[in-house]
Amino acid sequence: GQSLEQPSEVTAVEGAIVQINCTYQTSGFYGLSWYQQHDGGAPTFLSYNGLDGLEETGRFSSFLSRSDSYGYLLLQELQMKDSASYFCAVNQGGKLIFGQGTELSVKP
């Protein structure tokens, strides 16, 4: 079967750093993507790891370890607008298998 595990919710304060973990078990794997979705909005692409290591895009970084079937999204200098759901997704050659999402609440 195919499964992705990520925490259902995380709470942090403005200015803090938060890490959202994702472990996966899938039959095919090309890489791990991260998407952000605000309430009532559409998922939007944040980051991608096709190889092991850290990818940095501004305040957001994503890490992948293929040997551990594990990745994480790191959000730094949290802002209120970062309150949203964050999804990891395994890329199977264009077919995205999504995790159940992590709801991030940023408090003042």
Partner 1 sequence: DTAVSQTPKYLVTQMGNDKSIKCEQNLGHDTMYWYKQDSKKFLKIMFSYNNKELIINETVPNRFSPKSPDKAHLNLHINSLELGDSAVYFCASGLRGSYEQYFGPGTRLTVT
Name the DSSP class of 40: T
Q: For residue 35, give Cα distances in angstroms to 1, 41, 42.
A: 22, 12, 10
62 in contact with partner 1 (CB under 8 A): no
Closest approach of partner 1 to the CB of residue 17, in Å: 24
Q: In what order do the strands lie in the sheet with 53-57?
A: 3-5, 18-25, 70-75, 60-65, 53-57
Considering beta carbons, is residue 42 or 67 the nearer one to partner 1? 42
- Cα(22)–Cα(66) distance, integer angstroms: 12
Our finding on whether 45 is near partner 1 (CB under 8 A) is: yes
# binding residues, partner 1 (CB under 8 A): 23
Report if residue 28 touches partner 1, rule: CB under 8 A.
no
Site residues (vs partner 1, CB under 8 A): 30-31, 33, 37, 41-45, 48, 50, 85, 87, 89, 91, 93-98, 100-101
